[in-house]
Amino acid sequence: MAVNGVLRPGIIQIRVLDMAEAVVHYRDRLGLHEVMTGDDGRVYLKGWDEFDHHSVVLREADAAGMDLMAFKVMDDATLTQLTADLTAYGVDVEDVAAGEQPATGRRVSFMIPSGHRIELFAEMEQAEFHPAIENPDVWPEEPKGMGVARFDHALLYGPDIDKVTDLFCDVLGFKVAEQAELGPGAVAVWLTCSNKAHDIAFVPNPEPGAFHHAAFFLEEQNHVTHAGDIMAYYDIPIDVGPTRHGITRGRTIYFFDPCGNRNEVFAGGYTYYPDNPTRYWTPEELGKGIFYYERELNDAFLGVYT
């Protein structure tokens, strides 16, 4: 599959209430590599299998949640073209100067109808700690904690998901890999810009800008079990799992950081190709779609977000 245009999720900036506790969670428990702390106190981290300088940014704030999610695009010419396409579509696009985040080139930033800030960027310096390029071992050093390999995707809650879907598909080139009917006129969508089962997902919600979870990729199913052992040992609050999704077919555990933000570890999932039809789930089978083994929804899973 030729990937161009929007390549992949690149950055997520998460609000945390206590930076020291959050760093222990994301660095020592999930196993992200701590890259640096900025002059403004933001902490930058990355997965062991990521080449870019960082993918996760923690910002201390009074309320938990997500500030923004940014996607990396092919090159600066693509960034310029997508900026023009967004503007022509009627989106108010703002420029973010190079260096606003360390080692990162210019970004363009815009609010989508669900109330979330989405950004695009083309350039980021390579991390000092990255997978080997010449004669590469399977990892640069043994993974720590849960051993998450990368920031994989996010699930966001908000209104006007039909408009969000149109923007992502008509302007940014995403595809609807999967969707679920939640009830009359309410459809959740799993969108991909690659050959992953999803790179971002949206669920209808009357409150705009809500953050359901950030997901981190694990290579194998048994790594999900290991992650569960880490959660149990350190008394990390588990929401759901270990289990499996019907939607995407991924293996999963949902849990919370010390600030109440939901995380997910995710392994597997089907390979998506642009000629695939959109898979869909009807309301009576939604429980099985979300949690394949339990075949029923968890009210807290649906109702708790930051």
In this predicted model, what pLDDT tens digit does every residue of 245-262 receive, in sequence order? 999 999 999 999 999 999
pTM summary value? 0.97
Q: Where are the beta strands (DSSP E) in the chain?
A: 6-16, 33-37, 43-46, 56-60, 65-73, 94-96, 107-111, 117-121, 150-158, 175-183, 186-192, 200-204, 210-217, 238-244, 250-256, 262-268, 279-281
**Residue 127 lies inside a defined structural domain of this protein:** no
**Residue 1 lies inside a defined structural domain of this protein:** no
| Residue 254 bears catalytic tag | yes
Q: In the chain, helix, strand, coil percent, each to 5?
A: 20, 35, 45
| Mean pLDDT, all residues of the chain | 96
Three-state DSSP at 79 gives helix
pLDDT digits (tens, 9 = 90+) for 129-183: 999 999 999 999 989 999 999 999 999 999 999 999 999 999 999 999 999 998 8
**What is the pLDDT confidence band of residue 300, given thresholds at 50, 70 and 90?**
confident
Please name which of 298, 227, 212, 216 lies closest in space to residue 260, comparing C-alpha atoms. Answer: 212
Strands 6-16 and 65-73: antiparallel
Query: Domain boundary at 121, 136, 160, which?
Result: 121
Mean pLDDT, rounded, for 179-207: 94
pLDDT at position 2: 55
- In this structure, the answer to whether residues 97 and 205 fall within a common structural domain is no
- In this structure, the answer to whether residues 208 and 248 fall within a common structural domain is yes
- In this structure, the answer to whether residues 87 and 14 fall within a common structural domain is yes
| Residue 264 bears catalytic tag | yes
**What is the pLDDT confidence band of residue 118, given thresholds at 50, 70 and 90?**
very high
- In this structure, the answer to whether residues 220 and 295 fall within a common structural domain is yes
**Residue 79 lies inside a defined structural domain of this protein:** yes
pLDDT at position 183: 81
Residue 127, pLDDT above cutoff 80: yes
Residue 10, pLDDT above cutoff 70: yes
**Residue 141 lies inside a defined structural domain of this protein:** no
Domain tally, the chain = 2
Which are the contacts of 253, defined by CB distance < 8 A and separation ≥ 6?
A: 224, 227, 228, 231, 238, 240, 241, 242, 243, 264, 265
**Residue 34 lies inside a defined structural domain of this protein:** yes
Residue 3, pLDDT above cutoff 80: no
Q: What Å distances lie between residue 252 and 8, 42, 248, 298, 304, CA to CA? A: 20, 28, 11, 14, 17
**What is the pLDDT confidence band of residue 86, given thresholds at 50, 70 and 90?**
very high
- In this structure, the answer to whether residues 117 and 174 fall within a common structural domain is no
**Catalytic-labelled residue, pool 26, 44, 254, 305:** 254
Residue 1, pLDDT above cutoff 60: no
- In this structure, the answer to whether residues 215 and 279 fall within a common structural domain is yes
- In this structure, the answer to whether residues 68 and 177 fall within a common structural domain is no
**Residue 13 lies inside a defined structural domain of this protein:** yes
- In this structure, the answer to whether residues 80 and 184 fall within a common structural domain is no
- In this structure, the answer to whether residues 182 and 86 fall within a common structural domain is no
- In this structure, the answer to whether residues 43 and 97 fall within a common structural domain is yes
> Strand order in 279-281's β-sheet?
238-244, 250-256, 262-268, 210-217, 150-158, 200-204, 186-192, 175-183, 279-281
**Residue 132 lies inside a defined structural domain of this protein:** no
**Catalytic-labelled residue, pool 33, 116, 212, 213:** 213
Q: How many angstroms separate the CA atoms of 53 and 101, rounded?
A: 10
pLDDT digits (tens, 9 = 90+) for 18-57: 999 999 999 999 999 999 999 999 999 999 999 999 999 9
pLDDT at position 186: 86
**Catalytic-labelled residue, pool 116, 198, 212, 223:** 198
CATH at residue 99: 3.10.180.10
Q: How many angstroms separate the CA atoms of 116 and 12, rounded?
A: 12
Which domain range does residue 105 map to? 6-121
- In this structure, the answer to whether residues 78 and 160 fall within a common structural domain is no
**Catalytic-labelled residue, pool 25, 53, 153, 212:** 153
| Residue 33 bears catalytic tag | no
Least confident of 94-103, 222-231, 272-281, 291-300: 291-300
| Residue 223 bears catalytic tag | no
pLDDT at position 185: 78
- In this structure, the answer to whether residues 114 and 162 fall within a common structural domain is no
**What is the pLDDT confidence band of residue 298, given thresholds at 50, 70 and 90?**
confident
pLDDT at position 133: 92
Structure-model confidence comparison of residues 298 and 146, the more confident one: 146
Q: How many angstroms separate the CA atoms of 169 and 153, rounded?
A: 17
Name the β-bridge partners of 73. Answer: 6
**Catalytic-labelled residue, pool 54, 264, 272, 305:** 264
**Residue 126 lies inside a defined structural domain of this protein:** no
Q: How many angstroms separate the CA atoms of 121 and 49, rounded?
A: 20
